[in-house]
Amino acid sequence: MKTGNDPRHQERREIIKELFAYSFYPKNKIKTKTAAIVKHLKEIDKTIEKVAPEFPIANLNRIDLAILRLAIFELLIEKKAPPKVVIDEAIELGKEFGSETSPRFINGALGAAMKLMDND
């Protein structure tokens, strides 16, 4: 059973914090996995625009954006964790850091991303 003390969950929490800070201060030093996400940002953001077209990147809540960027990276680029795990973790991070509507939004966007993956 997953707990908040799970090292993978803790790592994801730290990455979310770094991605959130990066959205305000892109010149800050970032760790390896966050740097990999930033390296693929154009591709990740294009995917987010496809799965949530009614929410332009510039208008998205920055914490939701950070969570989506990590999850899309894990789903489409890294492909190490099972998709269900990635989505569940993203929803949990949305509950922890986001607004009341974040978990539902994140779930919907990542569900649409899964459909994109299935069509590729």
Domain residue ranges in the chain: 7-119
Residues contacting 7, CB < 8 A, separation 6+: none
pLDDT (tens digit per residue) in 90-105: 999 999 999 999 999 9
Q: Is 111 left (phi over 0), alpha (psi -120 to 50) or beta?
A: alpha
pLDDT (tens digit per residue) in 15-29: 999 999 999 999 888
Check pLDDT > 80 for residue 1: no
Residue pair 64/23 in contact (Cβ under 8 Å)? The answer is: no
CATH of domain 7-119: 1.10.940.10
pLDDT (tens digit per residue) in 30-76: 999 999 999 999 999 999 999 999 999 999 999 999 999 999 999 99
pTM of the model: 0.93
